[in-house]
A and B are shown apart, each in its own frame.
Chain A
Amino acid sequence: MPDVHTLVNEFLNQLKKRKIEGSQATAKQAAELLRSVISQQRLPQTHQATALISAVRAVGEKLIAANPVELAVGNIVRRVLHIIREEDLSLATAAIDGLELSAVSDDEDDVERDDYPVLSAAAVAAAARSTLRPPSLQTLLEDTPISAAIPHTSSSGGDSEGKSRSVDKSSRGRKLKHDVIEAVNELIQDISTCYEQIAEQAVEHIHQNEVILTLGSSKTVLEFLCAAKEKKRSFKVFVAEGAPRYQGHLLAKELAARGLQTTVITDSAVFAMISRVNMVIVGAHAVMANGGVIAPVGLNMVALAAQRHAVPFVVLAGSHKLCPLYPHNPEVLLNELRSPSELLDFGEFSDCMDSASGGSLHVVNPTFDYVPPKLVSLFITDTGGHNPSYMYRLIADYYSADDLVVKRRPATTS
């Protein structure tokens, strides 16, 4: 569809040129884009889920490639894929329950799952059980005989039912799309309201006469602190500037305007001031599967200082920031180096840059920092507070294992 393509290209351009700031905005736009892709996708009679999945994958691959460091995009793509699979499964179980004859649910067709019962309702039910619920001894015992002898001719099985099923299937197809779009709408809603849900938990963590430290600026942190202020907790805030973007200035101005005692300090003064701080509250760019945090640059230093002084280091993150990937060499692979002009005036040092005496100058200006999970005391997400060691479990709620690599495989069956 031309309009979908233009939408996709527009979004891709924005990502490549880094025009979109903030993971929430990126996530929302990505979700809306995928919603349009899904709604405009024409689905075949059979294997609707597969078609949807491959369409979303195609777009998702391009989106992720445009800005690999913006992990929220990949998260949303994987969430949508997971939604498709889940809706598919729930429709299948509903269909199975409603069927009297042995029926095969085409929608259950997944390219990856080879052990796929076709013919008997009992087998289908067993498969449904095994995919929807964690494996129990029964399903483990039942799985082996089933997977041994199942012909992988799902489509032929479908056709063999006869035309009486075709009406059912098309209505099921429409229902699938409808359900998926509803779920994606819910996802968008969740992304938009993650601030409120996180801010609700503020009162549990901030008491009277506290001193809180933060670095840079994060809307989540702003809402969090203001929510505590609304509940009449009086506390002071130290905001570290967050060079080289100096977002801390913005946050401090906002907080002071809303009536909180705020002090702006330089990033170098963090160790000096942290001995008088009760809690460090920061936002994150992304949370990795091991509980590590990709955060704005400088937060590793703050986390180390907080550990030294036994100050709790609390990270606020909406669930769209939770990434199912494990960080391997995050400083390099998940980082972006920005322009040196933010640190040095080009004019002053241009003659130094290529001086004849052999001196050379490199300027390093990374955007992100990696904070290892052992330095984080608590994650506060819209689903509540969690330990860093628990984050990997949340992944199972939101993502499927098959979607970790969003690259299209060479098509084997379709």
Chain B
Amino acid sequence: MSSILFLQSVVGLIVVLYPANGNSAVAESGKAALAKSKNQSSLKKDGPPVTSEVTIDKKSGNRPPEKERKKDAPPQRMQFDDQNRVGKAKRRALVNQTEAKNRVELFRHLPQYDHGSQLPNLESKLFQLDSVHPAVFKVGLRYMAGDISGVNARCTEMLRALQEAIIDYSTPPEKVLIRELTAKISSYISFINECRPLSISMGNAIRFVKRRIAKLPLSHTDVEAKTALCSDIDRFINEKIIIADKVIVGHASTKVRDGDVLLTYGLSCVVEMILLSAHDVGKKFRVVVVDSRPKLESQALLNRLIAKGLSCTYTHINAVSYIMHEVTKVFLGASAVLSNGTVLSRVGTACIAMVAHAFSVPVLICCEAFKFHERVLLDSICCNEIGDPGALATVPGRMDINYLENWTNEENLQLLNLMYDVTPSDYVSVIVTDHGMIPPTSVPVIVREYGQEHYLI
């Protein structure tokens, strides 16, 4: 019942805003993913859209009003300390996550679930859930299991799944393709979000898809619309991810010189490509691979680099001060780059950048332009993702470290497994993107100038 209300308000909104398509798609994506209270959101819709209609056509960077902007934001905006909304979201949810015991107080505004508990449950539902397309379901499951990690991979997989869903989609009679399809996509996205919270830059990709849908001419038949959408998505993946990576590698390889000692952290596919291509060209350099718990992702990178013949040094993040005096450059990847120049990346990146700054070592962030976002963040607490706390309690390969075996029984003890952290812009020397090498202060310029254009091709 509540979903019908929801859809109706959505429909009403589209009718009002038909000339101003971009914004409504944006608003919808925000609403759907937020799973906010329906009545409240429909009330809000009446106010801002009127003004935004006026401003949306000017490309002069007049920001849409507050509420609209908030709905551009990634779905993590659901405030989990608001009991009302949490309750309503739970009732609509397809995936019933159980909340973790021993939640950390400071992060009550973020979801802290018992990880892994829903996986078998969902797996059994594979053939029963008909509200969710099987491809999307699979992607959601893989997210939950932690198979896919890294923004590029997650984004690509999600877009491919959406492609499949679009191909299989057929409009019910008496309904308009655009609205129906957008609603369906929104529900898929909220499912994926429940499996694992979306990252900020994935919001950009979703926004792109929704804008393309909204821009479809009404005269297209289903088949034409679907092929157009699929080719758009293909093009997005190609241009924004694959080719962008090649351009970035081209730019960044010029910065690697003979005799360099390069430090990298975590598992960034772009940085790996840079190192391998510089090695292929024949430059002589060393790599320092820094790793941290609990994921220990850099070991995979280490394996691949050594197999290709680079000489590497492996250490853990605590020893960064020890090793930094030998390092000449630091290459880091990013999950998203925000408008105030801060870099959202794997937790620990901020520490590395800080120590590099203290030793006057330049820090190069390599990321594609689609990861730029107009949101701003000052610290890592307001927007983050909390991973599985149980991963902290055990150390793989070290049986003697078992002090925290029964940590759930201790009521005063919590384990906190943050996934992301925010690096302030003064620690970053340059950001290497497919638009070139830019200082962190130029990020809002790129967001403004290229954000609208490219998406409206």
Interface residue ranges, A against B (CB under 8 Å): 238, 241-244, 246, 249-250, 252-253, 255-257, 259-273, 275-276, 297-298, 300-301, 304-305, 308, 331, 335, 340, 342-345, 348-349, 352, 355, 357-366, 369-370
Contacts and interface: CB of A to CB of B under 8 A. Distances in A.
Nearest to A236: B105
Given A255-B412, A263-B414, A268-B346, 8 more contacts: A253-B410, A270-B351, A276-B381, A300-B321, A304-B355, A357-B306, A364-B313, A364-B315
A298 B318 contact: yes
What 7 A-B pairs have minimum CB-CB distances, sorted nearest first? A268-B348, A298-B318, A272-B380, A256-B413, A359-B306, A300-B321, A272-B421
9 contacts: A264-B416, A272-B381, A297-B318, A298-B317, A298-B319, A301-B320, A360-B311, A363-B313, A365-B315
B292 A267 contact: yes
Contacts of B417: 266
Contacts of A267: 292-293, 316-318, 348, 351
B412 A265 contact: no
Interface string B393-417: 1010110010110010010111111
A301 B358 CA distance: 10
Contact of A305 (B302, B351, B403): B351
Nearest to B426: A308
B106 interface: yes
A246 B395 contact: yes
A297 B404 contact: no
Contact of A266 (B104, B292, B321, B401): B292
B350 A272 contact: yes
A263 B415 contact: yes
Contact of A362 (B312, B350, B398): B312
A370 B318 CA distance: 12
A361 B309 CA distance: 10
B392 interface: yes
Interface string B296-320: 0001001101111111111111111
Given A257-B410, A264-B416, A271-B350, A355 B306 contact: yes
B122 interface: no
Contacts of A273: 380-381, 416, 418
B381 to A, nearest CB: 6
Contacts of A271: 348, 350-351, 354, 380, 421
Contact of B416 (A265, A331, A366): A265
Given A249-B404, A365-B315, A345 B397 contact: yes
A266 B294 contact: yes
Nearest to B411: A256
Contact of A262 (B291, B305, B414): B414
Specify which of B307, B412, B414 lies most central, judged by the most chain A CB atoms within 10 Å of its CB. Answer: B412
A265 B294 CA distance: 10
Contact of A246 (B313, B384, B401, B416): B401
Contacts of A370: 321
Contact of B322 (A255, A331, A348): A331
Given A267-B318, A304-B355, A343-B314, A361 B306 contact: yes
B309 A343 contact: no
Contact of A352 (B306, B350, B351, B397): B306
B398 A342 contact: yes
Q: How large is the interface on B (under 10, 10 to 19, 20 to 34, 35 or more residues)?
A: 35 or more
A301 B355 contact: yes
Contacts of B106: 276
Contacts of B307: 352, 355, 357, 359
B312 A268 contact: no
Contact of B318 (A242, A252, A264, A344): A242
Nearest to B415: A264
A58 B137 CA distance: 75
A259 B413 CA distance: 9
B347 interface: yes
Contacts of A366: 319, 322
Interface in B79-93: none
A369 to B, nearest CB: 6
Contacts of B354: 271, 301, 304-305, 308
B312 to A, nearest CB: 6
B323 interface: yes
B302 A261 contact: no
B181 interface: no
Contacts of B407: 253, 264
Contacts of A308: 354
Nearest to B392: A264
A238 B418 CA distance: 13
A398 B318 CA distance: 33
A273 B421 CA distance: 9
Specify which of A263, A275, A348 lies most central, judged by the most chain B CB atoms within 10 Å of its CB. Answer: A263
Nearest to A261: B412
A269 B421 contact: yes
A194 to B, nearest CB: 25
Contact of B314 (A246, A256, A361): A361
Contacts of A256: 410, 412-413
B422 interface: yes
B292 to A, nearest CB: 4
Nearest to B349: A268
B379 interface: yes
B108 interface: no
A345 B302 CA distance: 13
B435 interface: no
